[in-house]
A and B are shown apart, each in its own frame.
Chain A
Amino acid sequence: MKRTYIVAIACILLAIVLMVYGFASPSTNGRTARPVYALLLPEDIGTTVLQLRQGAQTAAAEQEAELRLFIAEQSSPAGPQLLSFLAAVEMLGVDAIILGECEKDVLEEAARIARAQSIPLVALWDHQSDAEAITVASNDGAQGRLLWEAYFDAGGAAAPMHVFTDAAARSAARLSGFEAASGGGATVHQLANVTDVTALAASLPPQSVVFALTPELTQALAEAGRGQFSLWGMDTGDSRVPLLENGWVSGLLMEMPYAQGHQAISAATAHAGKAAQNAFIESPSRVVTKDTMYDSENVKLVFPLLQ
């Protein structure tokens, strides 16, 4: 008798467990909650930041993650605002921190929080520091090389070459890549101040080929030269279209902030649950000229479709 009741009760209990497990809603059936990522940006101006946000938001939607934006206001210095954002993020508890280009102390604080909470830190620029972070950015050295190759592929003739750069680490990396690709031979002008460009530009021979390794230098040289020399530089943002159309620049190296934002979220998801670690994910770049600015693969870079 006992055995019969034991068998019957065991079968009924097992059936109940199966029914509960089988009919449990997906949200309680082993699926984890949506991950939360924090995106901290020092500024919110320009199409570049907008595209970066859009790419990140699109990726977050695809991966069913929640993206919380922390964007510093232009009216105040970005550093202290970002630090306060990080304090809030630390209290909130997120699954990843994605950080736009910022000062070293902000980066180190973000790295500390990521380490303490065993979450990944994704840096959107090549910070070249000891902070443990997954870097999603363009390879500056490769950018320098791309710039040279675009000029060369466009039938660049032998001409006096001048490279304008500044003291920033990214510029140095670009210069290194440029020189490695070009084999040297270009005159390097390292400027402490952008305003020094005007005088220098006026002294350049008309057939010169000028390479500018920062957007600011590119803008300044384009305005100074006004097409007198062939200028190849970095994307100047919203002024890129008239510069290209007017011929004041021959080619602009353009990053892909939408893709970068998308890659940042994908990297955060891929490293979810693990502490930040050093890794570099290259974000693509491309050189666009006046002739190619309306090509299908470039037109959306030059004229981003923003929503």
Chain B
Amino acid sequence: MICPMRKAIEKRKGSSLYLTILLCSLVTMGTLLLFLALTLTPRISSLLEQNAIDRTKDTVRQGTSSVEVYVNNMLATLNYLSGLSPATAEADGGRYQIQLDMVEKSQQDVKNIAFFAEDGALLSATGAGLAVPTAEVAAAEWFEKALSWKGTVTYFSSPHVQHLFTDRHDWVVTLSRAVDYEDAGQVKTGVLLVDYTFPAIASLASGIQLGASGYAYIIDAQDAIISHPKQHLIYAGIAGEEMQAAIAQVVGTTRDVMDGRERILIVHPIGQTRWRMVGVAYIDEMLALQSAFIRIFFIVLLCGGLLSLAGASLTAYYVTRPIYHLQEKMRAVEEGDLNTKITERGFQEIRMVSRTFNHMLQRIRDLMHQIVVEQEAKRLHELNALQAQINPHFLYNTLDSIIWIEEQGRSEEAIEMVSALARLFRISISKGRNIITVREELEHVRNYLIIQKMRFKDRFTHEIIADEAALAHRTVKLILQPLVENAIHHAIDPYGERTLHIQIRAWVEEEYLLLSVRDDGMGIPPDILSTILTSPAGKSGIGLRNVHERIRLTCGERYGLTVDSVADEGTLITIRLPAGMEEPA
């Protein structure tokens, strides 16, 4: 299955490499950042939230522990006092009273210590006397409860203003316990009362800070507020406290909403009492760190995205710049500037492409030069061939022969000679064509032979044998006449004792068009034969080499002349051409 992105890119067919690199980099980085955001954010947020809640719980627990320590100290004092032997001053000479005074003085937080008889009568007390009737004491809850529990349980009051004693109105927490004492030989039960200053406890609770707005308060067993940082305002009706969730929770953690803000309530019992510490923390403050983290995290992600964009943009630019440079140079080449050279720079792959392109350009330049040279050579050879046709000696001799014949009154022969000469030159020019038919080439050599026959009369004979099929094929022009000329000039017997026979053939064999010129003359000496196709033109004109070169230039290396010669037997020159050669456009 093809990736949809790849399909989209392929569909465009030619999208910018710069944009592709940029988009791929951005998609990769964006995917990574998104993955980080989606995986890390919830996890870390959850951890931070839980951490904040745990720290809040610990704070409340520590605050509760502080109160518990204080309460334990209070109980320890009460236990110590309970272990003493209560007695009136008359009974023990004031010893018990002294002990009570010592304890009160030694403990700053103890406000009152008193021992009451079963009926509420004050038996011993630190400080002032009783300010209320005995009946009122006996009816007080702290008294009744302590008696009913018979010393097994300590009564723990809520904070209140103690007004039992004359000129004393202290905020206290009252501890009371039934204690047995001996009076006139009888064991009786009385109630020991110890008042502890409440502000000390209140300050422990008010000192608990749970965030900027959070606080802690204490409620008693009846769910009434004992201590609250906003107690004044609550009683003034200016502030309020939603306690339902905390009361319902009893112990543990719960949440509620007050004044539109979500709160977490941590309810913790205070040991030895039936009080409960309620810690109130505001969720939005607790999670401020979480919010800050998320904010910073997303800012970091955003910055990462921006930096990725910058990096991707620069990377795409630096990757594509050498390619654009390459593109510009190629455009210059396309517009004809083959001398352009591409600077090899950039990535290794681009350098390789640049190097290869430079090599290609060099090769093109070399090939073009070679073509120019070959064309020039061809043109030169053609020029030479043409030049041979208008060789002054040949023309002079021919014209001279025409004059001589005409002077002899052989007008018809003169006309034939002039006609042959005209036809010779016409075919030589061939309207500038380089390729002519075999029929025309044979016609050309035939006219040449007519002229030469008139000059050399019976010193040579000739025959032209051409396959009908070969006549229509094409050949490079002016290739037979030079061979025949060579045969006439070099093979003919200078003494006239033998008649040279020249045979010209044309036939098709397989994929070749073959032309041959055979003579039965003296042959070519071996030393000349070996270099006959490479030596420059002889005194007769362009020479075999010219013909050979022209054929090879036009048709290819595997075509051309082959020369076979046996001394005193003759020479055979075979011309190999491709069959079915077309007229060049």
Q: Chain A interface (Cβ within 8 Å of chain B)?
A: 1, 4, 7-9, 11-12, 14-15, 18-19, 21-23, 51, 55, 58, 62, 64, 241, 245, 256, 258-259, 262-263, 284, 294, 296-303, 305, 307
Contacts and interface: CB of A to CB of B under 8 A. Distances in A.
B171 interface: yes
A51 B212 CA distance: 23
Interface residues of B, number: 37
A245 B163 contact: yes
Contacts of B163: 245, 294
A305 B199 contact: yes
Contact of A259 (B199, B224, B232, B309): B232
B341 interface: no
Contact of A299 (B161, B300, B309, B317): B161
A300 B237 CA distance: 14
Contact of A284 (B203, B237, B317): B237
Contact of A296 (B224, B232, B314): B224
A11 B161 contact: no
Contact of A303 (B169, B229, B233): B169
Contacts of A51: 232
Interface in B269-318: 295-296, 299-300, 302-303, 306-307, 309-311, 313-314, 316-317
B495 interface: no
Given A22-B295, A263-B238, 5 more contacts: A22-B296, A259-B236, A294-B161, A300-B235, A303-B161
A1 B316 CA distance: 11
Contact of A258 (B233, B237, B299): B233
Contact of A256 (B229, B236, B314): B236
| Interface residues of B, dominant DSSP | helix
A263 B238 CA distance: 8
B150 interface: no
Interface of B: 160-161, 163, 169, 171, 198-199, 202-203, 212-213, 224-225, 229, 231-233, 235-238, 295-296, 299-300, 302-303, 306-307, 309-311, 313-314, 316-317, 321
B100 to A, nearest CB: 25
A8 B314 contact: yes
A11 B199 contact: no
A262 B309 contact: no
Nearest to A301: B235
B456 to A, nearest CB: 82
A27 B171 CA distance: 42
B306 A18 contact: yes
A7 B310 contact: yes
A7 B161 contact: no
> Residue among A23, A262, A263, A305 with the most chain B CB within 10 A?
A305
A11 B309 contact: yes
A4 to B, nearest CB: 4
Given A259-B236, A305-B202, A23 B309 contact: no
A19 B303 CA distance: 7
5 contacts: A4-B317, A11-B306, A15-B306, A58-B229, A284-B237
A259 B321 CA distance: 76
Given A58-B229, A259-B236, A294-B160, A303 B309 contact: no
Contacts of B229: 58
A25 to B, nearest CB: 11
A187 to B, nearest CB: 33
A11 to B, nearest CB: 4
Contact of A1 (B238, B306, B311, B317): B317
A241 to B, nearest CB: 6
Contacts of A297: 235
Contacts of A299: 160-161
Contacts of A301: 235
Contacts of A4: 313-314, 316-317
B233 A8 contact: no
Given A263-B238, A284-B238, A307-B203, A12 B295 contact: no
B160 A55 contact: no
Contact of A12 (B169, B238, B310): B310
B235 A22 contact: no
Contact of A7 (B231, B299, B309): B309
Interface centre among B163, B232, B309 (most CB of A within 10 A): B232
A64 B211 CA distance: 13
Contacts of B317: 1, 4
A216 B238 CA distance: 28
A4 B319 CA distance: 12
B172 to A, nearest CB: 11
B236 A284 contact: yes
A263 to B, nearest CB: 7
A18 B299 contact: yes
Nearest 5 pairs between A and B by C-beta? A22-B299, A259-B236, A11-B310, A258-B232, A15-B303
A297 B235 CA distance: 5
Nearest to B321: A1
A58 B307 CA distance: 48
Contact of A18 (B198, B212, B303): B303
A11 B233 CA distance: 54
